[in-house]
Amino acid sequence: MVTEEDVANMSPEQLQELQKQNCIFCHIISGKVASKKIYEDDKVLAILDINPANPGHILLLTKEHYQIMPQIPDDEISHMFMVAKAISHACLKALKVQGTNIFIANGTLAGQKASHFMLHIIPRMNTDGLKIFDLPEKSIQENISEQIRAGLSNKINELFGIKTEEPIVLDRKTEKIGEKEENQKKTNKSEEKVNKDGVTKEKKSNKEGNSGIDLDEISNFIIKNEPKK
């Protein structure tokens, strides 16, 4: 039996190995657990979901065990989306449905239930009564969305290695955004003490006391260790 302490002392590689052993989808991929396979190649496997949202609900899995999308290399993610497109097309033709939803839940808070990354392809009919994918509309303050725009745009350019013209000024901007956001949170939840650099918040998520491994912890870990280009 693996204790919580053991998990805390494990290296990322050991953690991944442990998760693989406990992952039902890894067993499905290796064939230890039976499934209704729709499509298979060297990188991905598509199976029918046994608890479907609609008839023909397909799970597209990476054969390698990844927990969340940021872990997946570019070539695998692009292969996955191309297969998803083809399967969506197969759904329209084979099941005579009127549309499909392609859906990814990244992180437990986003509704991810298994620790194995997957993409859902859900056939849709006008009359199926599935309303969760009709997105609600909210009004967001102009200054908040402007902060979000500036912050995201800088970060994405950084991730693609695109140099912005005045990097120093832009860096200050992102710092400001972080602070402002946290100020907003302070007003929202007065009981939550938030540190300036957000370190305490990450620790808090550790305290949630889930036995086993928390997806969010791992996502935080990965993001921290993401090599900056």
Long-range contacts, 185-188 (Cβ 8 Å, 24+):
none
How far, in Å, CA of 204 to CA of 191, rounded? 13
Q: What letter would DSSP give residue 69?
A: G
Q: What are phi and psi of 3, to 5 degrees?
A: -85, 170
Q: Does 136 bind other proteins (CB under 8 A)?
A: yes
> Is residue 60 classed as helix, strand or coil in its secondary structure?
strand
| Residue with smaller CB distance to other proteins, 12 or 21 | 12
Radius of gyration over every alpha carbon of the chain, rounded to an integer in angstroms: 21
Nearer to other proteins, 22 or 205 (CB): 205
- In one letter, which amino acid is 213? I
> Candidates 12-20, 26-34, 93-101, 164-172 — which segment interacts with other proteins by CB under 8 A?
93-101
Considering the complex, what minimum distance in angstroms separates the CB of residue 9 from other proteins?
Answer: 25
Contacting range for other proteins; rule: CB under 8 A; set: 21-29, 59-67, 75-83, 164-172: 75-83
Which stretch in 8-16, 20-28, 55-63, 163-171 sits in contact with other proteins by CB under 8 A? 55-63
Tokens of 176: 């400001």
State yes or no: residue 24 binds other proteins (CB under 8 A): no
Q: Which of residues 107-126 bind other proteins (CB under 8 A)?
A: 107-112, 122, 124-126
